[in-house]
Amino acid sequence: MTTADRLKMSLGEAMFTQRAMRRLKPDPIPEEIIRDIMESAIRAPNGGNTQQWHFIVVKDADIRKQLGELYHEAWWAKRKDQGIMGPEDIPPGKNSQRSAMRLANEFGHAPVMVLICALAKGGANGIIPAAQNLLLAARAHNIGGTIATLHAVVDERVKRLLHIPDTAEIVYCMPLGYPRGEWGSVTRKPLEEVCGIDTWDNPYK
Ligand SMILES: Cc1cc2nc3c(=O)[nH]c(=O)nc-3n(C[C@H](O)[C@H](O)[C@H](O)COP(=O)(O)O)c2cc1C
């Protein structure tokens, strides 16, 4: 049986329910599932099929712990850039900022993390389809995760920890794991608000 055969969920269900899953169980993900996810990621479209990417699947407990601490530092560095100095500046209640803050606290508990890197600086555009393929394949296996980014303040240390060459760019740092939350369906603005026909200002009907 191939990876493609194992990804049985309908494309519609995967696309309409794949949301940022930030609450993850620490339970390990079987090796064959991780492989299916990564085999899917590397099937993504990319510029000239030159595959200017490199992936790192982090499973080692000690490396995950260190990466978790660096992610926490990076997340708060990004908030400080926006003038958010601490939890008291984040609106209470159920919102994506709160949920992202919790992820920053719990990142190190994810059983798997995937770093998606571009071989050269400025190559981020070329890896974005791979990130989405990865998340959709993960969804089909009931594995949650989210796209997440780091911050320049931790860049050098993450590169040293994971032996990433200086010439490469770390684009995304994704936690993966079995979900603690429900998948539900993603909420987005209606199509007519974000899509025009023929011209920008002729709303899609
Ligand atoms: C480029 C990019 C960067 C993101 N960075 C983060 C991040 O650093 N931390 C995080 O928790 N979520 C991050 N996200 C996830 C978004 O917040 C999420 O996709 C968005 O809120 C929609 O959520 P939903 O799919 O659950 O509806 C990122 C998403 C993208 C596309």
Domain CATH number, residue 188: 3.40.109.10
26, 108, 172, 184 from 101: Cα distances, Å: 18, 13, 17, 21
Is 199 within a domain?
Answer: no
Q: Quick one: pLDDT at residue 90? A: 87
Tell whether ligand 1 has an atom less than 6 A from the beta carbon of residue 96.
yes
CA of 121 to the centre of ligand 1 (A): 22
Is 116 within a domain?
Answer: yes
Is 64 within a domain?
Answer: yes
Tell whether ligand 1 has an atom less than 6 A from the beta carbon of residue 147.
yes
Q: Quick one: pLDDT at residue 143? A: 98
Report the predicted TM-score, pTM, of the whole model to 2 decimal places.
Answer: 0.96
Is 201 within a domain?
Answer: no
Over residues 51-89, the pLDDT tens digits come to 999 999 999 999 999 999 999 999 999 999 999 999 999
CA of 1 to the centre of ligand 1 (A): 33
Q: Quick one: pLDDT at residue 174? A: 98
Is 88 within a domain?
Answer: yes
Q: Quick one: pLDDT at residue 40? A: 98
Structural domain boundaries, residue 156? 8-194
| Total structural domains within the chain | 1
Is 86 within a domain?
Answer: yes
Low-confidence ranges of the chain (pLDDT < 50): none
Is 2 within a domain?
Answer: no
Is 108 within a domain?
Answer: yes
Q: Per-residue b/e over 160-177, b at no fewer than 16 CB within 10 Å?
A: eebebeeebbbbbbbbbb
Residue nearest to atom 13 of ligand 1 (CA): 148
